[in-house]
Structure 1
């Protein structure tokens, strides 16, 4: 890990618990549905919706707009027709998610030695609200919105390196998803996998260290900080 100057971190699932956070808010706003199942179905539309943008099948749209389109499709499938206020509050559920217990202390350790940045497909406003609410000690926020593209496209990772005035090889991308790390590695970044077994809830398996290619693997941000402190 010699030469690392910047640590960029994925947010949804890696740094915060999207499943628990969204499901709890769905349960309050849509009391007649299985909140866990609804949340999982909504998340399943996440990667395909961004692929439509990356692959030119639709114009650029930030993540709140994609979440709203996916939500409207899912509500129609379930025969639900909540009012506009409820739909807006559901979309904003992704703006307030709980941090994993190790995220804040681990990031604080890392920021003592490196520049730390959130690098997420979330829109800039979403990430600003989320990082503030979860008290995540990042030095800066780098939304995919700045590249007008979505991970795992190389342009997102390279935009992050360019904005922080470092070479891609001086950036360590941290994520709990193999697809994210594959994209970062293809863009020339170094990679670290943080395992989150509970990321997708009780009924869907999360990525495992043995199935992911990365320069480093850890079970938490605090463990990652300890590994990096050893040089």
Structure 2
């Protein structure tokens, strides 16, 4: 398997958005159920992108969608949220295995995010979470959102690599189905705590992905 680059989903796969965003909400909106607010804010994520994927709206960076979604969520909770709360998405804690695992993988392969986050968001998040990316790829260079094939293929093209030489790493089966359909190799790493103790989705692979690993350290070992 001649994998020359690894590209990664970030929200949920590399970082714990739920607890990290809830922490920021608790600090800025005391009295609100911070976890419920974080989950409701995140629930606006896919519908906001769907309008762009479906052609109903031109490309808008995720930072701006997050801000729109923040105010919509705050209104639903009956509170006013400061715009500064939107930077919570730049300060998400990595899962414990991520930094060491990425550094190990980077010894032999190019590593980069293939996230729906903007270049600015991914850069600031990388600095906060110590994610040692070689470059920032993903939605903004494609000006579209996953799981559209253009996002995966734009990342491969930016690296001047054929799709079959690039592996998409994600904790979400849907992301990997889309990447495989675009010709990329695939690796599944479960994150059973992404959505909290009641998580029922993506607890296990639902297809024969090229690699199924326990965590990023295990993935690094399997690739070595």
- TM class by shorter chain equals over 0.9
Residue 153 (structure 2) pairs with residue 154 (structure 1): no
Contact 1:16 1:97 in 2 (8 A): yes
Displacement of 1:69? 1.4
Number of aligned pairs? 224
Range with bigger deviation, 169-178 or 213-222: 213-222
Contact 1:178 1:213 in 2 (8 A): no
**Residues 60, 99 of structure 1: alpha-carbon distance in 2 compared, 3 angstrom cutoff:** same
Displacement of 1:68? 1.3
Displacement of 1:135? 0.8
1:105 maps to what in 2?
A: 100
1:22 maps to what in 2?
A: 21
Deviations 1:61-114 (A, max 9, x none): 0001111111111111111124xxx2x222110011111110011011101111
Range with bigger deviation, 120-129 or 51-60: 51-60
Distance 1:214 1:144 in 2: 23
Distance 1:179 1:49 in 2: 18
2:69 maps to what in 1?
A: 70
Give the alignment partner of residue 168 of structure 2, picking from 168, 173, 177.
173
1:40 maps to what in 2?
A: 39
TM-score of the two chains, using structure 2 as the length reference? 0.96
Which structure 2 residue ranges, 5 or more long, are not aligned?
Answer: none
Q: SS state of the match for residue 211, structure 1?
A: coil
1:10 maps to what in 2?
A: 9
1:91 maps to what in 2?
A: 86
Instruction: Give runs of ≥4 in structure 1 deviating > 4 Å.
Output: none
Distance 1:140 1:10 in 2: 14
**Residues 43, 212 of structure 1: alpha-carbon distance in 2 compared, 3 angstrom cutoff:** farther
Contact 2:188 2:205 in 1 (8 A): no
Contact 1:9 1:117 in 2 (8 A): yes
Q: SS state of the match for residue 15, structure 2?
A: coil
Displacement of 1:212? 4.7
Contact 1:8 1:117 in 2 (8 A): yes
